A and B are shown apart, each in its own frame.
Chain A
Amino acid sequence: MTLDETLGRLEEIASRLDEERMELGDALVLFEEGVGRLREAAATLHDAEARVKRLIELADGAFVLEDLDG
């Protein structure tokens, strides 16, 4: 799941918890999922580093990404 999707899911979870009437058990399951996603997103951020590549098109039309010294 991308960071964008993770944050989107978090928003969805919070909205459902806010707006829907649900059994407390279901709410707690959603909440637990939310906490898990938060951890996931934080972990992604901590080991993130920008990488720079160069887009190369091969003769057969396929694409490769080569490292570019930035």
Chain B
Amino acid sequence: MKRRRGVITSPTPSPRPSPNLFDEPAVAPAMELRVFENTMPELYDEVGETFPGASPGSAIAVSTLTQTVKDVVEGAFIPLWVRGEVSDFKAHRNGHWYFCLRDRTSQLKCVVWSRDQRGIPAAPDDGMQVAALGQVGVYATRGEMQFTVRRMEADGDGLWRKALELTRGRLETDGLLSPERKRALPRYPRRIAVVTSASGAALQDVIAVLRRRAPGVELVVAHAAVQGEGAPLELCAALERVCRWGGAELVIIGRGGGSREDLWAFNDERVVRAVAACPVPTISAVGHEIDVTLCDLVADHRAPTPSAAAEAAVPSQEELLLTLAAHRQRLVSAIEGCLYEPRDRARAASQHLVTTMSRRVADRQTALASVAGRLNALSPLATLERGYAVAQDGDGRTLASTRDFADGASFALRLRDGEVDATVTRIRSRGASVS
């Protein structure tokens, strides 16, 4: 630290006594600045009137004083965290941000140079309570004290949430969060790309699950740093490499658990858009169960952990064997279904045959009975039944005319219930009697 003549400072910043910056009273205790006592006359006596600024004749230029003050102030303070309420925030056309930090009694003009804005999740809003890390200095042109801010945190993660909401809003406007965009994951991918750190725990988790489930999958790792300043671009590049290669049927992107800052690359708009643009289905697995990133929202599937991502990516061998058993069952039922109809038809045909044949036999039987009836009607036996008798000679020939008889000849009379032997005693022909 530089020390300037004329000012002795004790620039030790007050220690941060409380983990919550905002529990302290709004008015901070003043820093202990020890300066010269007001001993001007004696001083001038010592240095004489020609000393710069000691007399009208030796008056110094405004810029000289301002520059001196600037040097003194800037040399006196190491970067400090300062807290207060943001007001009069302006994002200037030149890319820099200007605002005031104030509390009940004081205000501090602040600037964030555009190059330093990367370190701040989002621009603060007026009224936000923030803690800002910066260097106090002097803006000589205006003769104003100015605080050059490089990092900023808002009460209740306000800036992170704001940044997330802003990006989320843009993604939503572009339709990237719509549920209809979600694609189904391939059921049995052969090659899965994993975009993560090759040395990270997440990769080991994914590999362990795949080895356990062992469905013959090839896992292809596209390495990228998953935290730190370069992480977003590395993640984008690794994703782009995987897409250009074109050999994967599924992409898992993620990392193990970490702080919000560690996971922040997965909220980076460039990374999120690269995930959304991936031509093959994606699974996002960032951190633990409770961490939800924008990457998770645009991916086709969100897994709570890398292990869960691997489980979602491939079915277990057991599941597959069950699936095969189900297929076998279905095939057998299907072929049985195919056999059922011909079998049924054969059964119906045979039934028909039997019915037809039975009917025909019955018909014949009826016909036969009818013929038999008629035969019966014509039968001489029937006549006998009605009480008539038939005369027959000894050879059984019917004696139907008087001419068949001779006087004294023997013949038989056939009756219903037997025969009677008889002898002709007289013949009477109708018309001419023969005797």
Give residues in A with beta carbon < 8 Å to B. Answer: 2-4, 7, 10-11, 13-15, 17-18, 22, 24, 27-28, 31, 34-35, 38, 41-42, 44-45, 47-55, 57, 63, 65, 68, 70
Decide if B335 touches A17 in the complex (CB within 8 Å): yes
The residues in B between 186 and 231 inclusive whose CB is less than 8 angstroms from any CB of A are 186-190, 193, 198, 203-204, 207, 210-211, 213-223
Given contacts A50-B214, A55-B241, A65-B220, 10 further A-B contacts (CB under 8 A): A7-B187, A24-B339, A31-B335, A31-B338, A34-B327, A41-B327, A45-B321, A51-B218, A54-B198, A63-B245
Give residues in B with beta carbon < 8 Å to A. Answer: 186-190, 193, 198, 203-204, 207, 210-211, 213-223, 241-242, 244-245, 247, 317, 320-321, 323-324, 327-328, 330-331, 333-335, 337-339, 342
Q: Which A residues lie within 8 Å of B323 (CB)? A: 7
| Least Cβ–Cβ distance between A47 and chain B, in angstroms | 8
Decide if B342 touches A24 in the complex (CB within 8 Å): yes
Q: Which A residues lie within 8 Å of B218 (CB)? A: 50-53
Which of A2, A3, A18 is in CB contact (< 8 Å) with B337? Answer: A18
Q: Which A residues lie within 8 Å of B204 (CB)? A: 70
Subset of 9 A-B contacts with CB under 8 Å: A13-B331, A17-B338, A38-B324, A41-B324, A42-B321, A52-B210, A55-B193, A55-B220, A55-B242
Which of A11, A27, A38 is in CB contact (< 8 Å) with B338? Answer: A27
| Least Cβ–Cβ distance between A54 and chain B, in angstroms | 5
Q: Which B residues lie within 8 Å of A41 (CB)? A: 324, 327
Q: Which A residues lie within 8 Å of B217 (CB)? A: 48, 50-51
Residue of A nearest to B190 (CB): A2
On whether A38 and B216 interact (CB within 8 A), knowing A7-B188, A27-B335, the answer reads: no
Q: Which B residues lie within 8 Å of A2 (CB)? A: 188, 190
Q: Which A residues lie within 8 Å of B213 (CB)? A: 50
Interface-centre pick from A13, A34, A45, A50 (highest chain B CB count, 10 A): A50
